[in-house]
Amino acid sequence: MLTIFRDLFHYNREFRIGALLTGFIVFFAALSLVSPYPPQDVYVVPPDLPPSLTYWFGTTSRGQDVFWQLTFAIRNTMLFGFAVALLSRLLSIAIGMWSGYKGGIVDRVLMSINDTFIVIPLFPLLVLFYFVMRDKMSWPLLALAMACLGWAYDARLIRSVAMSLKNREFTQQSVFSGMRTSEIVLQEHLPYVLPIVFYTTMNNMNWSIGLEVTLSVLGFTNIDTPTIGVMIYWANQHTAMVAGIWWWIFFPVLFVIILFIGLFLLAISMNEYIDPRSRLARMGGMRG
Amino acid sequence: MSAAGPSRGAYPVRGTSKSGARGDPAAPLLDIDRVGMTYVGGGLFRRSAVRAVDHVSLRLEAGEPEIFAVIGESGSGKTTLARMILNLATPTDGTIRFLGADVTRIRTNRDRMAFMRQVQPIFQNPFEAFNPLKRIDRYLFVSARRFAGARGRVDIEVTADKALHQVGLSLAEVKGRFPHELSGGQLQRIAIARALISAPSLIVADEPVSMVDASLRMSIVNLFKALRDELQVSIIYITHDLATAYYISDRVLIMQRGKAVESGNARAVLDNPQHPYSILLKNAVLSPDDAGRPMPPAGAAQDSSGIPVSNEE
Amino acid sequence: MIAAIQSSAVNAAPATERVLTVDNLRAYYQTRYFGIEREVRAVDGVTLHVDRNEVYGLAGESSCGKTTLIKTIVRAIRPPLNVVGGSVTFNFAGRDCDIYALNQSDLENIRWRHLSYILQGSMNVLNPVRRVQQSFVDFAYRHIGQPMPAFLKLIEAHLHRVRLEPTVLDAYPHELSGGMRQRVTIALASVCRPDFIIADEPTTALDVVVQKDVLSMLRDVQREIRSSMILVTHDIGVHANVSDRLGIMYAGRLAEEGRTVDVIRNPVHPYTSHLVTSLPRIGDLTQKRGLEGAPPNLADPPAGCRFHPRCPLAIEICRAEHPPMVDLAPGHRVACWVTAPPIKPGALQ
């Protein structure tokens, strides 16, 4: 496994850049562990100071150090995105592969449900969710809600892979070797599905982060916990742009863009080169 | 006619002896009785029916291993027939009985396993027959565990090694390798070895050598002969190649567009075909012995009514 | 040091007109992937020639290099496949032309007008979203150089000559059967009456009955327009019926070459003899044998004669040096130390 990453790092430029960007963000998020200020405290530093040597990213109108706030914000945003991606992957894989392999009535029922979820307008639904939950709204709950809404696109993708695999001869060989259905799906087919899953995980993270930022900016989440969106929300509340406190918005946006690009580059590079050495070995021996 | 015996829904669970333990001892190994497959196509307003297999019958006796060749071109239904025998497709009419039990009635997992223990497939494309991402010994080991009852690493490997020796290979050569590291001939042999692990009484081979290199082909074909002669396995050998069918089969069945056109003893039918389609097929074979003789002029092959007799359109 | 009388066919003044001369052609796949360099010697020193109105058959198994050889001859190759040595010279309309020395526009003028091809998948040639007539226009119109009505008449006459219904022009490729499509492809390849046609496994995917028809048509067309042809197929039966001369390729090199009837009736090279005798035939019940081993991996071929690991006749020198092509009889060349040893100078024949 590590050799794969090492090869990718050496020879694939997109992977190298993506890994560096994402690595930087992860490192930055890890700095939150050594933050001198608890994330939710306000007025711990003089407010509205521009970036300087003491306060690298400046301070907010609420008296928080943008640098340290950002470490928490980006950490929470990333963790949130990751949680949503993970949960929704589990759903997509399970539903997609079961539906693809079984076919028939199971497939039709699951895909009808799937298509319903694709068509549902997510944003109003999440807003409604907020209004219903109100004070009981928490990040894990929101992550769960988004995971339950975010599996549909990729389930179809995985299903089509599963369907094509079912018709391949080695699947029949597995059946006649005595493998159980669960063994076939998990051991024979999953390796084909995993490259897609990696790609969709990155995609899904980007999607969920984007949605979270949107909801937070509008105030539809728990605004006490700092995330990128919440920072921008507070900046808007204090009319930062009008007041000239540009650094309050600029740095969160910059960092979330870096995160997006890093994840995207990782996604597309891993998509193509999931296992370079075996691809190379498979290249050996020309035919004809 | 199919031997009498209580009509069972389920397939006998333990059928390790070649003539069928719990099944009727006098039952034929494989009894295909006027079997047919109709594919219905078209949309809501216009339906079209295609008869992929139309009233085909054949019968293999238990205890008399033979190689039975099914010859046909594309669209003849031979592959559909093979799939029906393997219980991968359900016939729309007629019955297929294996050792007296109706194949389409196999429902429970136990029945299915018992059936697969007796009937094994060999596929056409050796490069597709194994998962390219997985090691190839895996299939041998799983078969050993599930069908030969092997327990423990040593037992499993010994079983796999024995099966590989029957096809002229050994576990040492094969262990840990991926499919792309081996040639088509070796892969096909490994597929045969895997099929032999469960000691089947019937192997259904669908064009097993058409994608194997010419220099390796005859070893595999001879291997099938050895399976019949030494291991007492009956083989249904699907092919479009009349010469190979002539070489190894005992009986043949020639199919055209789903129908059985001519059948009987292999040498008799192929030396002296009677049906116009069989004659057409035999005349169309291009043999190396033709070298030096001029080729007959072009002109679509037609029967007396002027309608092309080939399988096209 | 054995000074061999090597095959001098290339240098002899040809009695009949020579349309294609391939001289010691070498084409390798050279890849560099993740720091690992690999060189696959797909075509490794092939010398052959084709005369006018002659069908040259090329036989061999998978990974013997015959398809790569064809692609190299028509210059349809791209990196990582590179020509590493040798030359390919055609003779079109009386003029010699080195296909690798041409510029792009000359190449386009030659293609189809003087050099055309018939591929295995007819759908690789016929545009699936255009009618057959459009394909004729796409390929041939600019070469024929006549106004459209005259051009269409010409097409119809050509189809009539090859016994195809003109109604075929209005059809889309998918509306025709496989054999029909292949016949259309042959008509398309021959409409400009090219000097040279390359046919790569033209009937392999077709049914046996249709195959015979299509090959007859191919043969008739070739005879009528007097073009030369290279027919590539692994099926010796096809060669026996269609090819005038036959070249057997193994692992990127020619093992034997000669008139088809000579090569098939009296094969000399151990590989050829095995290939020919191991084929089952109707009416023949003798025991056939398979060959041990497998065709070699061209990225790491055996030293010396590439067939030696599988050859029942291999001797010491086979493992060390590759045998040269030797003229056994006029027009019959073999590369084998054992069955066609090169003759020492001064020794009696």
CATH number reported for the structural domain that contains residue C81 in this entry:
3.40.50.300
Q: Report in angstroms the alpha-carbon separations of C95 from A191, C17, C48.
A: 57, 11, 19
pLDDT per residue as tens digits for the range C179-215: 888 888 899 888 888 989 999 988 887 888 888 888 9
pLDDT digits (tens, 9 = 90+) for A201-223: 888 888 888 888 888 888 888 88
Mean pLDDT calculated for residue range C102-128: 83
Residue C299 to residue A284, Cβ atoms within 8 A: yes
Q: Where are the beta strands (DSSP E) in chain B?
A: 30-42, 47-60, 67-71, 93-98, 101-102, 119-122, 202-206, 234-239, 251-256, 259-265
For C277, the closest chain B residue by CA position comes to B288
Q: Decide if pLDDT at C6 tops 70.
A: no
Helix or strand run (H / E) with residue B292: none
Assigned fold of B30-285? Rossmann fold (3.40.50)
- Is A174 in contact with A189 (CB distance < 8 Å)? no
> Among residues of chain C, what percentage have pLDDT more than 70?
93
Whether residue C109 contacts residue C182, with contact meaning beta carbons closer than 8 Å, is answered with no
Query: Contact A238/A232 with Cβ under 8 angstroms?
Result: no
Comparing CB atoms, the residue among A10, A280, A286 nearest residue C40 is: A286
8 Å CB contact of C280 and B285: no
Structural domain span for residue A30: 2-283
Contact B143 A177 (CB under 8 A): yes
**pLDDT at residue C16, rounded to an integer:** 67
Q: Name the more confident of A196 and B251.
A: B251
Distance from CA of C39 to the nearest CA of A (A): 10
Chain A nearest-CA distance from C120, in A, is 13
**pLDDT band for position A12 (50/70/90)?**
confident
Residue-wise pLDDT for A72-126, tens only, equals 999 999 899 899 999 999 999 999 988 988 888 989 999 999 999 989 888 888 8
Round to whole Å and give the CA distance between B79 and B77.
Answer: 6
Q: pLDDT (tens digit, 9 = 90+) per residue, A259-283?
A: 989 988 888 777 665 554 445 454 5
Residue B191, C-beta contacts closer than 8 angstroms, at least 6 positions apart? A173, B122, B123, B126, B129, B130
CB atoms within 10 A of CB C152: 17
Domain assignment of residue A288, yes or no: no
Read off the pLDDT band of B245 (50, 70, 90). very high
Query: Which of the other chains make 3 or more beta carbon contacts under 8 angstroms with chain A?
Result: B, C
Residues of chain B contacting residue C211, judged by C-beta atoms under 8 Å apart: 284, 286
Given CA atoms C161, C163, C165, C168 in this order, what sign does their dihedral have?
Answer: negative
Query: Which of chain B's residues have a Cβ under 8 Å away from the Cβ of C269?
Result: none
Instruction: List the single range of A64-78, B5-19, B91-105, C155-169 with lowest mean pLDDT.
Output: B5-19
> Is C148 domain-assigned?
no
* CA closest to A286 among chain B residues: B180
A276, A285, A287 member nearest C34 (Cβ): A276
Q: Which of B132, B142, B178 sits opposite A177 (nearest CB)?
A: B142
- pTM for the predicted model, two decimal places: 0.80
Residues whose CB is less than 8 angstroms from the CB of residue C82 and which lie 6 or more positions away in sequence, other chains included? C27, C28, C29, C30
Token pair for residue C114? 């003087």
pLDDT bracket for residue C2 (50, 70, 90): very low
Q: Are strands B30-42 and B119-122 parallel, antiparallel or unpaired?
A: unpaired
pLDDT value at residue A108:
92
Residue B308 predicted with pLDDT over 60 = no
Range of the domain at C280: 18-114+194-334
What is the nearest CA distance from B109 to chain C, expressed in angstroms? 39
Structure-token pair, residue C96: 């010699």
Q: Where are the alpha helices (DSSP H) in B121-181?
A: 137-147, 153-166, 171-174
B307 touches chain C (CB under 8 A): no
Which candidate, C198, C230, C228, places its Cα nearest to that of C19? C228
The predicted model gives B63-91 an average pLDDT of 90
The pLDDT, as a whole number, for residue C346 is 54
Render A141-192 in DSSP notation, one character per residue: HHHHHHHHHSSHHHHHHHHHHHHHHHTSHHHHHHHHTT--HHHIIIIIIHHH
Q: Interior CA angle at A68 toward A63 and A71, to 5°?
A: 135
pLDDT of residue B73: 87
Query: Which positions in chain A touch C63 (Cβ < 8 Å)?
Result: 285-288
Q: pLDDT confidence of A1, banded at 50, 70, 90?
A: low
pLDDT of residue B202 exceeding 90, the answer is yes
Average pLDDT value over all residues in chain C: 85
Q: What is the pLDDT of residue C242?
A: 92
Interval C226-274: pLDDT, tens: 899 999 998 899 999 999 999 999 998 999 999 999 999 999 999 999 9
- Whose CA is closest to B194, among B150, B136, B244, B237? B136
Choose among B73, B295, B299: nearest Cβ to C241. B295
- DSSP secondary structure, B217-265, as one string: HHHHHHHHHHHHHHH--EEEEEES-HHHHHHH-SEEEEEETTEEEEEEE
Residue for token digits 């693809």? A100
- With an 8 Å Cβ cutoff, is B73 touching chain C? yes
A288: nearest CB among C35, C62, C297: C62
pLDDT at B170: 87
Whether the CB of C264 is below 8 Å from some CB of chain B: the reply is: yes
Average pLDDT of the residues in B198-212: 91
The highest-confidence range among A85-89, C111-115, C311-315, by mean pLDDT, is A85-89
Q: Which residue has the higher pLDDT, B96 or B133?
A: B96
Confidence of residue A286 (pLDDT cuts 50, 70, 90): very low
| Sequence-distant (≥ 6) Cβ neighbours of residue B100 within 8 angstroms | B2, B3, B5, B8, B20, B23, B24, B27, B28, B31
Using the 8-state DSSP alphabet, how is residue B213 labeled?
-
- Compare C207 and B119 and report the one with higher pLDDT: B119
Half-sphere exposure of residue B108, counting CA atoms within 13 Å on the CB side?
A: 8
Distance from CA of A282 to the nearest CA of C (A): 12
**Of C62, C63, C47, residue with least CA distance to C8:** C47
- Say if residue B19's pLDDT is above 50: no
B306 has pLDDT over 70 = no
- Indicate the residue of C61, C242, C294 with minimum beta-carbon distance to B214: C61
Residues of A in contact with B142 (CB under 8 A): 174, 177-179, 183
Q: Is A107 helix (H, G, I), strand (E, B) or coil?
A: helix
Give the tens place of pLDDT for each residue, B30-57: 899 999 998 887 666 777 788 889 999 9
Of B222, B284, B291, the CB nearest to C264: B291
Omega of the bond leading into C80 within 30 degrees of 0 (cis): yes
pLDDT at residue B227, as a whole number? 92
Question: Nearest to residue B287, comparing CAs of B241, B250, B223?
Answer: B241
Residue A9, pLDDT score: 77
The backbone torsions φ and ψ at residue B309, rounded to the nearest 5 degrees and listed phi first, read -90, -10
Chain B stretch 247-286, residues whose beta carbon is closer than 8 A to a beta carbon of chain A: none
Residues from chain A that touch B129, judged by Cβ atoms under 8 A, are 169-170, 173
SS3 B289: helix
Q: What is the pLDDT of residues B256-267, one digit of tens each?
A: 988 999 999 999
pLDDT digits (tens, 9 = 90+) for B286-296: 888 887 777 66
pLDDT above 60 (res B8): no
CB contact under 8 A, C216 and B242: no
Instruction: Please report, rounded to a whole number, the percentage of residues in chain A having pLDDT higher than 70.
Output: 92
Does residue A17 sit in helix, strand or coil?
A: helix
pLDDT of residue A4: 66
A-B Cβ pairs (cutoff 8 Å, strict): 60
How far is the CA of B295 from the CAs of B290, C240, C243, in angstroms?
A: 8, 9, 11
Please report whether residue A125 resides in a domain: yes
Determine the distance from the C-alpha atom of residue B210 to the mean position of all C-alpha atoms in its chain, rounded to a whole number: 13
Q: Residue for token digits 């050996």?
A: A284
| Averaged pLDDT, B145-172 | 90
Task: Give per-residue pLDDT as tens, C57-72.
Answer: 999 887 788 888 998 9
Q: Does B311 touch chain C (CB under 8 A)?
A: yes
| Per-residue model confidence (pLDDT) at position C313 | 87
- Least confident among A138-147, B1-10, C71-80: B1-10
Q: How far is B113 from chain A (nearest CA, A)?
A: 7
Query: How do residues A170-185 score in pLDDT, each as one tens digit?
Result: 999 999 998 888 888 8
The proportion of chain B whose per-residue pLDDT surpasses 70, expressed as a percent, equals: 84
Q: What average pLDDT score do residues B89-100 get?
A: 90
Cβ-Cβ contacts under 8 Å, B88 against chain A = 172
Lowest mean pLDDT among A129-143, B9-23, C200-214: B9-23
Please enumerate residues of C whose Cβ is less than 8 A from a Cβ of A. 29, 31, 33-36, 38, 40, 42, 62-68, 297-299
pLDDT band at C345 (very low <50, low <70, confident <90, very high): low
Q: Residues A234-265: pLDDT tens digits?
A: 998 888 888 888 888 999 999 999 998 998 88
Over 90: is that where the pLDDT of A43 sits? no
User: Which residue type sits at B121?
Assistant: P
- Residues in C closer than 8 angstroms to B216, CB to CB, are 290-291, 294
Q: What is the pLDDT of residue B293?
A: 76
A168 interfaces chain C, CB cutoff of 8 Å: no
CATH code of the domain in which A117 resides: 1.10.3720
Q: Does B215 touch chain C (CB under 8 A)?
A: yes
B15-54: burial string, b at 16+ Cβ within 10 Å, e else: beebbbebbbeebbbbbbbebbbeeeeeeeeeeeeeebbb
